[in-house]
A and B are shown apart, each in its own frame.
Chain A
């Protein structure tokens, strides 16, 4: 595994809170509690208390002028600002643009990345010739290319979509490649002695075994797609939630800025919750396997 892929996987672990791509030893019988089981009420209470403490102390420090409210605003200001923005202030329309760019960019990255990863895994020549180029391009900080994309593709959504694809494509491609490569040798032997056709081997043995890695790649790609959309918008300062944030910052309206940020956080959390629910549904076996390892092993 290249350093690059390793860093992608490390990212996956941190950003998603769940190390789906990490290889674990075989599950031990015993612990059966699936991951994502109900969080206990005590934990919820503590989390809520921490949230109250965060915003409470923020409010206190800003009200007493220990921190300059012009720089950090204050919760009593930016929560209402957020609400006005959502309730008739056009924030929903702006987030609509951002989400449109995110999903179109993500969908393109997913399609191209799955195809690219498949080609890399399946065709040796493709792997040997093309992969160094991919690794090289992927090591460029793509955000630095954003102004170039604006020059080429204009101030509209298209330049953001291109930026997203330039980020997310590689994540999907490399994770797909790693997943397709990591098939258990016993399973391949079994597919041979059972007389599986090429097609059956791919769909019944290789693809399901790659699914957790592919899914982790898609999850991370989605995070990067959202990031790409917002950062791209901020750079051009024109459209979407990123444009709104850039505008507020440009006019030194920290309250408006934090108001927009709240919406950003809510959307990001909602998207990741949906993805996690999807994962628990599609990869239930994986959750059981990991739970078994954690319960019985360590």
Chain B
């Protein structure tokens, strides 16, 4: 079922048989032989993903990088269950992806805070929908606001916050339900450079205490290297997996101090030289 030419460059363990059911131990997300296309306005179909095979291990931090339009977000939508794959299999926790699965948390570039709710109200939103009792959700939301450094702003409205603070609230909202799998779609891309560094560090520390599996989609190579255990590099459209890099920098890492590590720069160079080929090809 695999498309020819799609897998030649993949550096990865062999693809499990497509007919096998249930997820192997330690795998949270299994993507096997997935291809997908969209209808264009003139009626043709444009392929966005081509023969993707990927297993995301329990507890790992996986980053996906690639040129614009390579289908990164489509991949995320497939895992979220928002889109069903045309070809291939996508499994989350051993079953079909479900929209609104409380085990899966999302964080987007835009914070989507509800302007009529206070910071605390926004942090409680996901818990409310998950049906958590009032006192319990208040306690958890307050605790998380504390850990993202917003304990003092609990009663402010989103309009009174800076962009970075708003995204911190979104992080609190996402983590409040204690999801087992976190899907991050360029969560720091709307922030200025300094705020971004601070928030990456905050997130990295929070993640270390959670043990959740993270899939981070990003344009930012330094973000991918400094946060992730593995970096998946995708080709230009239609997106295939070009290479998977293991990031063996020691943890705990600090996004800022990594800048002085030589291994970090080597990896950055290597990633960039491969990515730039794809960017140019577009």
Contact = CB atoms under 8 A, between A and B. Distances in A.
8 smallest A-B Cβ distances: which pairs?
Answer: A195-B100, A27-B159, A186-B112, A289-B159, A190-B112, A285-B116, A208-B116, A292-B159
Contacts of B115: 285-286, 289
Nearest to A211: B116
A193 interface: yes
A27 B115 CA distance: 10
A22 to B, nearest CB: 15
Given A186-B112, A209-B116, A285-B115, A194 B125 contact: yes
Given A194-B100, A195-B99, A208 B159 contact: no
Nearest to B161: A29
30 contacts: A187-B112, A187-B114, A189-B112, A190-B106, A190-B112, A191-B129, A192-B100, A193-B82, A194-B100, A194-B126, A195-B101, A195-B102, A195-B130, A196-B129, A204-B114, A204-B125, A204-B128, A204-B129, A208-B114, A209-B116, A211-B116, A285-B115, A285-B117, A285-B157, A286-B116, A288-B157, A288-B159, A288-B160, A289-B157, A292-B159
Contacts of A209: 114, 116
A212 to B, nearest CB: 9
Contact of A194 (B108, B129, B163): B129
B239 to A, nearest CB: 22
Contacts of A200: 129
Interface centre among B82, B157, B163 (most CB of A within 10 A): B157
Interface of B: 80, 82, 99-102, 104, 106, 108, 110, 112, 114-117, 125-126, 128-130, 157, 159-163
B196 to A, nearest CB: 17
A127 B101 CA distance: 33
B114 A205 contact: yes
A64 interface: no
Contacts of A195: 99-102, 129-130
Contacts of A194: 100, 125-126, 129-130
B99 A192 contact: yes
